[in-house]
A = this chain, B = another copy of it.
Amino acid sequence: MNPSSTVLLTDLYQLTMVQAYVEQGMMDTAVFEFFVRRLPPQRGFLMAAGLEQVLDFLEQLHVSPAELEWLKQTGRFSPSCLDYLETLRFSGDVHAMQEGTVFFPHEPILRVTAPLPQAQLIETRIMNLLNFQTLIASKAARSVLAAGGKPLIDFGLRRAHGAEAGLLAARASYLAGFAGTATVLAGMEYDIPIYGTMAHSFVQAHKDEKTAFEHFALAQPENAVLLIDTYDTEVAAHKVVALAPSLKQQGIMVKGVRLDSGDLADHARKVRRILDDGGLPQAQILASGNLDEYQLQQLIAGGAPIDSFAVGTAMTTSADAPSLDCAYKLQEYAGRPCRKRSEGKATWPGRKQVYRQFRRDGRYDYDVVTTVQASGAGDPLLHPVMTEGRRLVPAQKLTELRQRAAAQLALLPDSLRSLECDHPYDVRISQSLQDLALAVDQCV
């Protein structure tokens, strides 16, 4: 079974609650919103991602005969619940921020309006998709800001948390501004540019390093990027120089070299000199090896002659903050606004909209979270994307979403562009929303 496309990829309690709702006839309209409660440490902003996969999931939502049969044989579900599941489709509306939108805590990035059992059942997978891609896009955006325009490539698949994580991390990082990925499937599925060099094993499998370089260049004449740190980085750089003339005779230019260990800045300087002195000024230097945004910033600030970077594990696992403090919460049922008041986890009630205010120089100034009934100045960030279970517009191209994300990052105030982000962005809760919360609390 493909875990990415089954409705059974959910928490058991979603199904048990559906059963109770069906039995009690609680089929009125519910409004749920997905938002982040607080930023991870050292973060100043988040970037919305994953909407496309959420809409796919909702459009395809159904329980297959085999799934229904399995549910039946567990003995846990009543006939009325199973009947309901048998014909289940998603018939609700969705409002959302577009992918690539920069957002902040307390701001809903997705609102679901649907009959209660439907809106409840989809909670787990919606959170699973939005948490992960938003997490990765937000982390990747930091590397993009730190790299100062130099190309970044996702090398993270091997330590991504499973298959879908690897694929969607390639998507989310490309959305956030990475130049491409090593993950071949992301090229096939999302038309993301794919990149690759060679592994240490390739060098080791040959009796000598120079022969390995030659064999690789012959097999990849257009893309001869040679990994030079298997034994001794500078010695290998000299081998590349020595090999270049005979490759040139065969019409092959050495495209570049990859550094993957040691002091990358120091190796890059030495290797740059060796390549330049050896008549290979066009050969680029790609650096990899446990890089994160802090190391990128340091390498860039130090002027290391590195042309592009591969970023893997730190980005693809969001290593310093591998989850978001996010929630998908019921905000209204049958026309009645509601909220949770659990200690440390209280939420703002009702259907909300977010308005963004801009400074004179075009940068973000502050946001206002308010009720949908209240009018707001500035740009509303939540837009209708699905009505009665159908997309309002066809899926946007990933390249367009990527341009949008880049435009969003360009408008960040400088205080949010630094990796430390010590001045939190101003998110205001409107008076109408504060009034609503008070009114809701008095009713319970």
Contact = CB atoms under 8 A, between A and B. Distances in A.
Contact of A201 (B120, B129, B188): B120
A84 interface: no
Given A131-B158, A205-B116, A330-B200, A231 B341 contact: yes
Nearest to A216: B20
Contacts of A155: 11
Interface in A213-258: 215-216, 218-220, 223, 229-232
B9 A157 contact: yes
A234 to B, nearest CB: 12
Interface in A47-82: 67, 70, 74, 76, 78
Residue of A12, A127, A198 ringed by the most chain B CB atoms within 10 A = A12
A184 B17 contact: no
A2 interface: yes
Contacts of A317: 161, 317, 322-323
A70 B188 contact: yes
A232 B346 CA distance: 12
Contacts of A220: 16, 19-20
Contacts of A6: 185
Interface in A1-46: 1-6, 8-17, 19-21, 23-24, 26, 30, 32
A155 B260 CA distance: 38
A159 interface: yes
Contacts of A202: 17, 20, 120
Interface of A: 1-6, 8-17, 19-21, 23-24, 26, 30, 32, 67, 70, 74, 76, 78, 116, 120, 123-125, 127-129, 131-132, 155, 157-169, 182-185, 187-189, 194-202, 204-205, 207, 215-216, 218-220, 223, 229-232, 260-262, 313, 317-319, 322-324, 326, 329-330, 333, 336, 338-345, 444
